[in-house]
Structure 1
Amino acid sequence: MVKIIQSSVDIEEGLATLLRIDPRLETVAEVAGPLPLRLNEPGFAGLAHIIVSQVVSRASADAIWRRIIDAVGEVTAQNYLASAPIDAPGFGLSRAKAKTLYGIATAIVEGRLDLDALNLLDDVQAYNDLISLSGIGPWTAQVYMMFCGGHADVFPSGDVALQAAITHAFQMEARPSAKALAEIALLWSPWRSVAARLFWAYYASITRRDALPIA
């Protein structure tokens, strides 16, 4: 059965379990402070927002998202297709991201993609279904699963802020690769999504910069 995070109570349960599993995290938790929940509704808007967030800066991402909302209104697949340019990027998006959003919206409208049903699948199947979509990579799929699907046992090991946070916390000589970090994170199953939140909060504390993918 898929473990789903629905509230701060689940975050607290997950953190308590993590501290029992790995005592090294006690110090990390003290520095990190309260862990954020930041759940968004599943669906096109949630996935689109994550894709838009992957630009040069948070300010740029926010500006693009505001343009989309101004043009589209409620960000649904149907509304996006009615407002987005077909043959050129719009809203300040790169050509690649515009193509990804248009393709996802089209798949939803044509009934080839059901993001609500996808969130009911187990972690592996949901992940595989997401990365099968053109333009969706591992990080995007994992972040969507965590923050729009509430999956409790997902760890986006390719995230640079998580790599930096763990390097600092564990006093590692070099930043771990995505593969190496995924292996480290196996210890924190079945609450890897809470472990990720912990290290994002730790990163924010030591750098004074919020690196959490969801605003």
Structure 2
Amino acid sequence: MPRTISLPPGYRLGDVLAFHRRDAESTAEVVGPASLRKGVMLDGVPVVLAADFSPSAAACTAQVDGAVSAALERRIDEAFRSILGLRIDPDPFCAFAATDPLFGALVRRQPGLRIVQSATVFEALTWAIIGQQINLPFAIALRRTFIVLAGRQHSSGLWCYPEAADAARLAPEDLTGRKFSRAKAETLLRFAGLVASGELDLEPGPANAIEQIGQRLLAIKGIGPWTVNYGLLRGYGHADCSLHGDVAIRAALQRLLGEDGKPDIRRTEQILQQYQPHRTMAAAHLWASLALPDDSA
């Protein structure tokens, strides 16, 4: 099932590969200098999404352990767009912020910056739950555990990130025995159970807007605004997610403002509101700014 996906001018391949390289043990992702292989469950089928990059295109192949339906073809196409960071066009925000006193210079220093998505909405939201209030290395270790406990191995040997039905089969003790807190394990499985049963529909449509999905997520015990916004950002590529509760966003704003302390959550939210409907790209530039030299942020 080969396909060629054209890449926009100035495509920042290094950013995309760095996002998928976070797990040093390559449990569900294998990243090369100009290649990516990612395992994910799609419609109950183990799939490895493989992309080999040239300067202007990605040669993409889906290695499927099972029958390929038209619905699965669509899911594969959507997953490729997500993992390659092609859901949000960065140009509207760059034009919007070109003369902005806070973001203008920063945007010019980071041309072509994009937000990379998870392969599925379920992956994005479970990763957001796993990452709540813990450091990144520990979150990655817990994610690895979750994949091995709930996911399935592709015939190639690569693990595939699970779907809701896979995760819903777990008991909290399966996770708490592997360093998950009781609260995190229960939230994760509560969410998976609601999706698997069909009570929570994650598929957006005319009668199920992304904003409505966000409100339903907020009603789930253990899921708060940060988790919802981060999940919508990484899952749907929603263009206007406010990450005002994110510690790294607040640290980046502190540097950008040249202040001695981080702005509090309320003030951070007020600052980001000025960049509606482009708050997702504002967050992307703030996150990336933390990697710039101190005198360049």
Q: Normalising to structure 2: TM-score of the pair?
A: 0.60
**Alignment-derived partner of residue 65 in structure 1:** 143
In 2 relative to 1, CA 191–167 (structure 1 residues): closer, same or farther, beyond 3 Å? same
Q: Which residue does the alignment assign to 1:193?
A: 280
- Cross-structure match for 1:11: 90
* 43-52 or 110-119, which deviates more: 110-119
* Secondary structure of residue in 2 paired with 1:196: helix
1:205 alignment partner, SS class: coil
- Report the structure, 1 or 2, having the larger helix content: 1
Change (3 A) 1:118 1:95: farther
TM-superposition CA deviations, 1:155-203 (whole Å, max 9, x none): 2101111111111111234321111111111211111110110111112
Aligned length: 201
Higher strand share: 2
Deviation digits for residues 70-126 of structure 1 (CA, Å, limit 9, x no counterpart): 222241111112234458724321111000011111111222101123895153x33
Relative to 1, partners in 2 of residues 1:85 and 1:172: Cα closer, same or farther, differing over 3 Å? closer
Identity over the aligned pairs, expressed in percent? 29
Pick from 91, 98, 103 the counterpart of residue 185 of structure 2: 98
1:114 equivalent in alignment to 2:193: no
- Larger Cα Rg: Structure 1 or Structure 2? 2
Equivalent residue letter for 1:146: L
Distance 1:58 1:9 in 2: 24
Worse-superposed segment, 94-103 or 81-90: 81-90
Deviations 1:138-171 (A, max 9, x none): 1000101111111111121011111111111112
- For residues 41-79 of structure 1, what are the alpha-carbon distances to aligned partners after superposition, in whole Å with 9 as ceiling and x for unaligned? 343222111211235332222222112212222411111
Q: Distance in 1 between matches of 2:263 and 2:215?
A: 24
CA contact (8 A) 1:32 1:199 kept: no
CA RMSD of the aligned region, Å? 2.6
Does the CA contact (< 8 Å) of 1:152 and 1:193 recur in 2? yes
Q: Retained in 1: the 8 A contact 2:87–2:237?
A: no
Q: Distance in 2 between matches of 1:87 and 1:161?
A: 31
> Displacement, 1:40?
1.6
- Aligned mates of 2:101, 2:134 — CA distance in 1: 36
Unaligned runs of 5+ residues in structure 1 are 208-215
TM-score of the aligned structures, taking structure 1 as reference length? 0.81
Aligned residue for 1:182, secondary structure, equals helix
Which residues in structure 2 correspond to 1:30-41 (within 5 Å)?
30-32=108-110, 34-41=112-119
Question: How far apart are the structure 2 equivalents of 1:90 and 1:35?
Answer: 39
Task: Quote the Cα distance in structure 1 between the aligned partners of 2:171 and 2:291.
Answer: 35
Conservation of the 8 A alpha-carbon contact between 2:123 and 2:235: no
Any stretches of 5+ residues in structure 2 without a counterpart? 1-81, 152-159
